[in-house]
Structure 1
Amino acid sequence: MTLSLTAQAQASPPRRWNLQPGIAWLIAAITLVPLLVVLASLADPQTDIWAHLADYVLPQLLINTAWLAGGVAIGTLLLGVSLAWLTAVYDFPGRRHFAWLLALPLAMPAYVLASVQIGLYDFTGPLQTLLREWFDNSRWFPPIRSRGGVILTMTLALYPYVYLLARNAFLTQGRRALEAAAVLGLSRRQGFWRVAMPMARPWLVGGVSLVLMETLADFGTVATFNYDTFTTAIYKAWFALFNLKAASQLASLLVMAVLALALFEQKARGNKRYHGAGRSGPAQPIRLQGLRAVAATAACLLILALAFFIPCGQLLKWAATVIKTDFDSRYISFIWHSVLLAGGAAMLVVTLGLLLAYAVRGRDGHSARLAARLATLGYAIPGSVLAVGVFIPTAALDNQLIAALQALGWQTPPQILKGTLVVMLLAYAARFLAVAFEPTQAAMQRITPNQEAAAASLGLGRREMLWRLHLPLLRGGLFTAALMVFVDVMKEMPITLMTRPFGWNTLSVRVFEMTSEGQWEQAALPALAIVVVGLIPVALLARQTENR
């Protein structure tokens, strides 16, 4: 009996405390705390604030936001689906190049495109000036500073989200969907509407959902157009009215709208399954002839010109006129601050993403997966909301620290945590954790238990296994995650604008300040730098697409 108990004790190692779910929930708290702080403001409604909002603010905000979201959703759906169907199913001159060139507008932030659109097409811009020289007046030209102008600009900036996902869907169907429709006696047009579009529904819902989230989260574009939405109202309530409670109340409404959108997107997909129409190899595209081929090429060129090439050309022209007078030592600090923030955020967020991926891989996977789902929710939340949600508890903690230190007789500065890089990095972590977690998790899934078992049989402990097995295999995923976070932080505006230390200007802040004053030429240099950095992930994405 004693021998059997001894053998059982030797066979069963002592049970260790599993810390992985706790780590996952600790990381999730970075996102959950700001969201809960913002939503908690609804539990203590300020009647005077709500009366003011209901009478003077909310009606126009709701109308503007509804028009913007609906218009951009319809515009990106029409543009993205038509271009995706054209490049996936048909063959025409330049098709292979357009397949990846049409994704280039992703490299240009919407607020940069907005500044170029106003500078080009406003009454005093070069286009309307030329029209007045030719036709004596330009009153018939639609005003760019309008609701339609905002919708058009954001449609041109965001259509690649729908285009890339829809093209992926159509490539799996391709000509086979039309052949299946022909067997059923349907025309090519009927086959598109009754076969191809229903089969592509999950991709289209996903693309439009991304567009709507980006639209609701946008601050720079609507601020450039002076088009009031919830994000601009949050900023004005905080920095113009100095009313953090009003900003929190508005942010809570926006959070509920975004969460409702995410829930709708998940419910819309449901448990349906969609399968491609055959897997016997890639289907040959249908070759267009004559005027149809010319029209297809012209349509792709027109969209690329409006969304990317003309704006880039205008930015280069403006930058050339001011580079001698405007480029000075300040730009060194703009670039240094931008790179420092983006690099620090990339290191922090990738580290958190790696820890979260390890937690999901652990023994207690269910709890960790729930924590990971909540932790990555921040990507769907506007940056202005997260800025408010991070600042409020940080300010409260700051006041407690100062009071405690003063009670001990210490001399304290007016603020310890507020107005520091810590607040910015926490907000970046909550916003972009999903960007780091997804590629890291995908790379983690390629490490099989057999590989780990083989490493353990060779006597590798946990630490050695991390350095000699996991990190070499995860290198590609971690590099992709770091690159994506770096570029996203470089382009990010509301968090940087609302939480930066005093005098801490970046390229995106410089663009906002110059466009706010209508100085489009001075905004060209930092905007061009942001676009160049944004081309990196688009180039990598195009390379991956070509290798499939």
Structure 2
Amino acid sequence: MQSPRLPDFLLLVLGLVIVVPVGGVLAAWLQWDARSADILRQMASTVLAEYAMTSLLLCTVVAFGVAVVGTACAACVTLFDFRGRRTFEWALLLPLAVPAYVVAYAYTDFLQFSGPLQSGVRAAFGLEGRVFPEIRSLPGAAWVFVFALYPYVYLLARAALGERASHLMEAARLLGAPLGRRIRSVALPLARPAVAAGVALALMETLADFGVTSYFGIQTFSVGIYKAWLAMDDRIAAAQLATSLLAVVALLLALEWRSQRRLRFSTARGGRAGSSDSQPTPLRGAPARLAQAICAFPILMGFVLPVLFMLRPLAADWSVLPWDRFVLWASNSVRLGLISASLAVAIALLLAYRLRRRPDPITRGVVGLAGLGYAVPGAVIVVGLLLPVGWLQQVAPGVPSSYWVTGTIVGVVWAYLVRFMSVALQSVQSGYARIPPSLDDSARMLGTSGLRLLAQVHWPLLRRAAAAAGLLVFVDVMKELPATMVLRPFNTDTLAVVAYQLARDERLGEAALPSLALVLVGLLPVVLLSKTLRSRPG
């Protein structure tokens, strides 16, 4: 009678492991005392208002920018037909391959005071001083985030518009509505839930970012958490800032969930989206060129120019690049990525199988916790992991808990699993959704059940979904910066960490090599995603 309890126990342990970072941050408020109150008052009178105002301004500009750019591109490739439309459909995903901090390094190297653009303009026109505004500023960061994150809105808005918009716009045309009114009254209301969900995702990425804001010297909550912990050595202040950031992310996550529910409702009655009378409106002449320009501009700003800017130092002088150390950085990144991806896929398979076979409250709760991890910023995960370690050291000084978390890869892999488990889980669950339940019944009638059912029946049908899940987790781990930078053990620098350190030391030419490697790795899921989108009708 004890054997059935073992899986429940393991599920509870897994749920505890996943929830520790958030629980550790919230538990810091249990240590509330006079010193903590004094720290909070000092923060409120000094940096807290600046963190809040800067984050609010940045998020406002980014939200407006990604909504406009993403919706405009989605509307062009979905509602209209023009030369190059099929190419733009997948090319608009390319900025997903470039981490935002890599875009920031590339623009800084080219546009800074000593960069080739300003130096060339000063030499050509005999000017002195700064020619263009400083790129390392709040507007510069907003520019980077808009063109790095607009694909979130583009993907969701394109899916929403592709379901019904063309069909309903054709009906509105037959009723005499002009094109502008058809877009305002039909297409945009249909895309509104998708745009809101995409904006929420982009804002969560903006708030979680450390590389761009830290490099540009912008005082956001994420940067403040690291300053409080590493510079001021004040874990209570770091936990309080992490709690504030977590509350904002929770609001954005609730907005994203609400928008996704409205999106599913609006697309459930899809009508005849693929019928012959719901084709995109053909464009010729000036309107076609305008649509091409609208789609080409974000690709140019978010992918083409950053890649060209990073290729410049490689083409200029290959000898200055750290080729000897690049192999070590790449091997560290690949090793952490493979370990984390393998563990994430294995756990996701077990969770998805358990949810399919026995969807009890414990299983649903653990799966729900695993799905929340991607919304938790890396800064919060770091604080949530290190705080319990510090408490354990105080209670049991002889227990080497800090060594296992910060002296080995255990801590950083733990953070990766918390952060990216939901990526693997969603991919595996999508694979399970294509396996009919009748197949399980047939297998049980033939005497196959338990883990044999997973290994012999489900696994052959889930290989592609599991491979996609592993690829997505691998790429996310390769690009992850905040958790890796703090929790990595000694002599385990990764490509992301080294690119940040070289850029911070103004060695932007040397930072180009690891940055380009991250871009090449990031192209893998983009190619996979573009193939998936092309395989769907409409």
Regarding TM over 0.5, the answer is: yes
* 1:73 equivalent in structure 2: 63
* 1:95 equivalent in structure 2: 85
Q: What is the rounded CA distance, in whole Å, between the counterparts of 1:430 and 1:176 in structure 2? A: 42
Report the secondary structure of 1:159's partner residue.
helix
* 1:296 equivalent in structure 2: 291
- Cα pair 1:29 1:375 within 8 Å, conserved: no
- Cα pair 1:92 1:288 within 8 Å, conserved: yes
Alignment of 1:80-159 (within 5 A): 80-137=70-127, 141-159=132-150
AA at the equivalent of 2:203? L
- Cα 1:427–1:156 shift into 2, 3 Å: same
Tell me how large the CA RMSD over aligned residues is.
Answer: 2.3
* 1:383 equivalent in structure 2: 378
Q: What is the rounded CA distance, in whole Å, between the counterparts of 2:95 and 2:191 in structure 1? A: 23
Instruction: After TM superposition, give the deviation of residue 185 of structure 1 in Å.
Output: 4.6
Report the secondary structure of 1:200's partner residue.
helix
Instruction: After TM superposition, give the deviation of residue 19 of structure 1 in Å.
Output: 5.0
Instruction: After TM superposition, give the deviation of residue 429 of structure 1 in Å.
Output: 0.8
- Cα pair 1:24 1:355 within 8 Å, conserved: no
AA at the equivalent of 1:33? V
- Residue number among 362, 371, 382 corresponding to 1:367 in the alignment: 362
- Cα pair 2:97 2:523 within 8 Å, conserved: yes
* 1:172 equivalent in structure 2: 163
Structure 2 unaligned spans of 5+: none
Identity %: 37
Instruction: After TM superposition, give the deviation of residue 139 of structure 1 in Å.
Output: 5.2
Q: What is the rounded CA distance, in whole Å, between the counterparts of 1:490 and 1:31 in structure 2? A: 20
- Residue number among 448, 451, 457 corresponding to 2:439 in the alignment: 451
* 2:18 equivalent in structure 1: 31
Instruction: After TM superposition, give the deviation of residue 239 of structure 1 in Å.
Output: 1.6
Instruction: After TM superposition, give the deviation of residue 364 of structure 1 in Å.
Output: 4.0
* 2:511 equivalent in structure 1: 523
Instruction: After TM superposition, give the deviation of residue 76 of structure 1 in Å.
Output: 0.3
Asked if 1:310 corresponds to 2:309, the answer is no
Q: What is the rounded CA distance, in whole Å, between the counterparts of 2:294 and 2:258 in structure 1? A: 35
Deviates more, 1:185-194 or 1:306-315: 185-194
- Cα 1:271–1:118 shift into 2, 3 Å: closer
Cα displacement string for residues 30-57 of structure 1 (whole angstroms, at most 9, x for unaligned residues): 2212101101223334023112211211
- Residue number among 380, 394, 400 corresponding to 2:389 in the alignment: 394
- Cα pair 1:395 1:417 within 8 Å, conserved: no
Instruction: After TM superposition, give the deviation of residue 117 of structure 1 in Å.
Output: 1.0
Structure 1 unaligned spans of 5+: 1-13, 405-411
- Cα pair 2:66 2:150 within 8 Å, conserved: yes
Q: What is the rounded CA distance, in whole Å, between the counterparts of 1:271 and 1:483 in structure 2? A: 30
Deviates more, 1:357-366 or 1:118-127: 357-366
Q: What is the rounded CA distance, in whole Å, between the counterparts of 1:414 and 1:35 in structure 2? A: 18
Instruction: After TM superposition, give the deviation of residue 224 of structure 1 in Å.
Output: 1.6
AA at the equivalent of 1:378? G
* 1:9 equivalent in structure 2: none
Would you say how many aligned residue pairs link Structure 1 and Structure 2? 528
* 1:241 equivalent in structure 2: 232
Asked if 1:473 corresponds to 2:473, the answer is no
- Residue number among 248, 253, 260 corresponding to 1:257 in the alignment: 248
Instruction: After TM superposition, give the deviation of residue 167 of structure 1 in Å.
Output: 1.1
Cα displacement string for residues 381-435 of structure 1 (whole angstroms, at most 9, x for unaligned residues): 100110110122234345656526xxxxxxx798454432111111111101100
Cα displacement string for residues 226-280 of structure 1 (whole angstroms, at most 9, x for unaligned residues): 1111111111112222222221121111111111221233345666821335345
| Largest Rg, 1 or 2 | 1
- Cα 1:456–1:544 shift into 2, 3 Å: same
- Cα 1:399–1:448 shift into 2, 3 Å: farther
Instruction: After TM superposition, give the deviation of residue 27 of structure 1 in Å.
Output: 2.1
Q: What is the rounded CA distance, in whole Å, between the counterparts of 1:370 and 1:281 in structure 2? A: 42
Q: What is the rounded CA distance, in whole Å, between the counterparts of 2:8 and 2:72 in structure 1? A: 45
Deviates more, 1:255-264 or 1:123-132: 123-132
